Structure 1
Amino acid sequence: MQIIDILREQINEMAAGVIASLPAIAVGILVLVLTWLVARGAGRIAGAIIGKAELRPSLRGLIDRLVRLAVWMIGLFTAAVVVIPDLSPASLVAGLGVGSVAIGFAFKDIFENFLAGILIMLRKKMQVGDTIECEGVLGTVEHIALRETYIRHFSGELTIMPNSMLFMNPVEIWTDLDARRYDVMVGVSYDTDLDAAEAAIRKAVQSVGHVIADRPIQVLAHEFNSSSVDFHVRWWAPSSGAATLENRDQVIRAIKRELDAARIEIPFPYVTHTFRERVPMGSNPGEAA
C-alpha cells in the first residue's frame, strides 16, 4: 500500500505541476505562432530589400533562409525561457557548447559542404549556366544548393558534386567570357614549304563560321617532331558549352580539306630499320649466301 500511495502522490504532484505550467505552455505556443508569422514577414521584407540588388537567385535564397533561421532561433529561445523559467542564456550556451563538439564531429562533412556552399554563392564567378571542369567532371552548372552543385554533362548525365570539392579544388570556367581561345597541333611533312602550309592552314581557319574574325589567328611553327614539322594553330571563338567541341571539329575538318587541296602531306610516323649485315633478297636465304 505504501508504494501505491507514493505513486499516487507523485502522479498528483506531476498533474499539479502540469496544470500550473499550462499558462506558460500556452504562452510558449503563442510565441511560436508569432515567430512563424514574423519569420514569414521577415523573409518577405528581406526579399523586397535584396530584390533591388543584382544578386544571383541562389544567394537571394540563402539570405532569405538565414533571416528566417535567425528569427526562429530567437523565437525558440524565448519560448523555452517562458516554459522553463530556470533556463538562462548562460546555461543554454553551456549546453550548446558541450553538444556542439559531438555534433561537429558527427556532421563534419555536412557542415563543411554547407559552409563551402555559402562561400560559393558569395562568389561572383561560377553561376548557373556556366560550363565548368573540375576533377575530371565537365558540364553545365544546373543548380547550386547549400550542400551540393548539380552539373549536367554534354551527354545528358547529371553529376552531383559536394560543394567542398568545388571550393577546395581548381575549377576551370569555360564560359567566364563570351569568347575563348582554342588551339590544335597540325603536322606537315619535312619536304613541305612551311610558308605555303601556313597560308593553307590560316585560310582553312578563316573559312569556319564560328571563328571570330576580329581576333588574331596564329599559325606558329612549333617544333621538329619525329616525322613532321608541327604548327601550333590558335584561334578565338564563342565559349558556349558543347559548341566548343563542334567548333574544334569544324576547324580540324577545314584544315584537313585545305591541306589535301594544296597537296600538303600530313605525315604519319615513319620507321627506318638499319641492319649491320646485308639482308638477303632472294626467296631462300641459304641460296643467296
Structure 2
Amino acid sequence: MLQDFTAVLHGYWSQLLYMLPRLLLAAVVMGGVWVGAGRLRSWLAAKLSTHSDDPLLTDFLTQVGRWVLVLIGIAIALNIMGFTGVVSGILGAAGLSAFVVGFAFKDIAENFLAGIILAFNRPFGINDTVKIQDMFGQITKLNLRTTEMGTFDGRDISIPNAIVLKEPLVNYTRDGFIRQDFVVGVDYDDDVAAAIALILEQVRQEPEVLTDREPFAVIDELAASTVNLKVFFWTDTEDYRRATLELRSRVMNRVKKALMEGGYALPPDILELRLPNKMPAIPIQVAVAQPGTLADPPEDPKKPGINPTASPGASLGPS
C-alpha cells in the first residue's frame, strides 16, 4: 500500500513538473494581460475623449474594452496550460450555456444591455440633474450594471440600468435652462397692474435671471383675502441647486421687500367662523381691575360665573 501511495505521489509530482513551465507562462500572460488592460483603458480614455465630449460614453466604452481584453487573456492562458478542449467546449456549447446563463442571470444581462443602450443613447450626462421615479439628484457615473446618482441631501443611489431605461426620465439640465415660478398675494385694494410692474422690475434686477427669456406675471387666483399673482422667470441650470433653489429664494425675498416698501399689503388668509343659529348663549366674565392693580373683582355669590361689573347681556352667542 505504501508503495502504491508513493507511486501516486510520484506521478502527481511528475505531472506538476511537466505543467510547471506552462503554469508559469500562463501566469506571466495573465499578469501581462491585466497590466495591459489597465493601459488599454487609459489609452482608450485618452483617444475617445479627444473625439467625444461625452465623458459618460467614454468611461463606459473603456470599461467594456478592458474586460474584453481580460477575457481574451483568460482564454489564452487556458490554451497554454493545455485546456484547449475546455475552451473549445465552452465556445462550442455557447448556445446552450447562453440560454442557461441568460436565464439564471437575467437581471444582470438585462442591466448590462440597458447600460450599452444608455451609453449610446445618452439621455443624460455627467452632473446632469434628473428625476427617475421618486429619485432626484445628479448623475455621477454609468457602470456596466448600474447608474450612480448623488442626491442633494448627501445620499448615493445605485439604480439598475434597466429601470433607468424603462422608467420615464426627467432631465432638468440638458437644455441648459429651466423656468421657475412662485406665488405672491396682494390686497384687493392694491393696484394689481402696478404691483406686477414692480415685481417684474425686481426679478430683472437679479443677475442670474435670464434676460433673453422675458419674465412675466399673471393673476393666478382671486383668493378669499388676496389677489394671487404667479410670477415666472427663466434661469440657467448648470448648477441646479444654485440656479433654482437659492435663486428662487433670493428673488422671492427681493420681491417681498420691494412690495412692503412700496406700500403694498400682503394680507394673510382670512378664516370666517360661523356659529350655529340655535347655539345657546355662553356667559363670559369681564374682569375690570383697578388702576395699578392686577386683582380680580369679587364675584357675585348669587350668580356664579358672572361678574356683576360686566355689562348687561354680555354673552357669546348667535348674532
Give the shorter-chain TM-score range. Answer: 0.7 to 0.9
Report the counterpart of residue 313 of structure 2 in structure 1: 282
Report the counterpart of residue 77 of structure 2 in structure 1: 79
Tell me which amino acid in the other structure corresponds to 2:150. I
Contact 1:187/1:266 (8 A) holds in 2: yes
Query: Where does the alignment leave 5 or more consecutive residues of structure 1 unmatched?
Result: none
2-structure distance, mates of 1:36, 1:275: 83
Q: RCO (CA 8 Å, sep 6+): is it higher in 1 or 2?
A: 1
Structure 1 residues 26 and 217: alpha-carbon distance in aligned structure 2, compared to 1, 3 A threshold: closer
Structure 1 residues 207 and 58: alpha-carbon distance in aligned structure 2, compared to 1, 3 A threshold: closer
Contact 2:40/2:66 (8 A) holds in 1: yes
Per-residue CA deviation, residues 179-228 of structure 1 (Å, 9 max, x unaligned), is 32111122333444432332232233233333223322221122333433
- Please show how residues 179-194 of structure 1 align to structure 2 within 5 Å: 179-194=177-192
1:46 to 36, 44, 47: 44
Structure 1 residues 180 and 16: alpha-carbon distance in aligned structure 2, compared to 1, 3 A threshold: same
Report the counterpart of residue 227 of structure 1 in structure 2: 225
Query: Where does the alignment leave 5 or more consecutive residues of structure 2 unmatched?
Result: 282-311
More helix by share: 1
- Please show how residues 14-53 of structure 1 align to structure 2 within 5 Å: 14-33=12-31, 35-36=33-34, 39=37, 42-43=40-41, 45-47=43-45, 49-53=47-51
- Please show how residues 128-277 of structure 1 align to structure 2 within 5 Å: 128-146=126-144, 147-151=146-150, 153=152, 157-164=154-161, 165-239=163-237, 240-243=239-242, 244-274=244-274, 277=277
Q: How many residues align?
A: 283
2-structure distance, mates of 1:85, 1:261: 87
Structure 1 residues 129 and 34: alpha-carbon distance in aligned structure 2, compared to 1, 3 A threshold: closer
2-structure distance, mates of 1:143, 1:104: 26
Contact 2:26/2:80 (8 A) holds in 1: yes
Q: Percent identity at matched positions?
A: 23
Contact 1:190/1:229 (8 A) holds in 2: yes
**What is the deviation of 1:17?**
3.0
**What is the deviation of 1:248?**
1.0
Contact 1:58/1:145 (8 A) holds in 2: no
**What is the deviation of 1:80?**
1.2
Tell me which amino acid in the other structure corresponds to 2:247. N
Structure 1 residues 214 and 13: alpha-carbon distance in aligned structure 2, compared to 1, 3 A threshold: closer
2:124 to 123, 126, 130: 126
What is the RMSD of the two structures over their aligned residues, measured on CA atoms?
A: 3.7
1-structure distance, mates of 2:149, 2:200: 40
**What is the deviation of 1:68?**
2.7
1-structure distance, mates of 2:47, 2:208: 42
Q: Report the secondary structure of 2:30's partner residue.
A: helix
Contact 2:139/2:147 (8 A) holds in 1: no
2-structure distance, mates of 1:209, 1:55: 29
**What is the deviation of 1:103?**
6.2
**What is the deviation of 1:26?**
4.6
Q: Report the secondary structure of 2:240's partner residue.
A: coil
Tell me which amino acid in the other structure corresponds to 2:178. R
Contact 1:113/1:162 (8 A) holds in 2: no
Using structure 2 for the length normalisation, give the TM-score.
Answer: 0.70
Contact 1:143/1:151 (8 A) holds in 2: no
Structure 1 residues 158 and 7: alpha-carbon distance in aligned structure 2, compared to 1, 3 A threshold: same
**What is the deviation of 1:234?**
0.6
Contact 2:147/2:160 (8 A) holds in 1: yes
2-structure distance, mates of 1:237, 1:100: 50
Q: Report the secondary structure of 1:242's partner residue.
A: helix
Tell me which amino acid in the other structure corresponds to 2:197. A
2-structure distance, mates of 1:163, 1:211: 36
Larger Rg: 2
2-structure distance, mates of 1:190, 1:27: 89
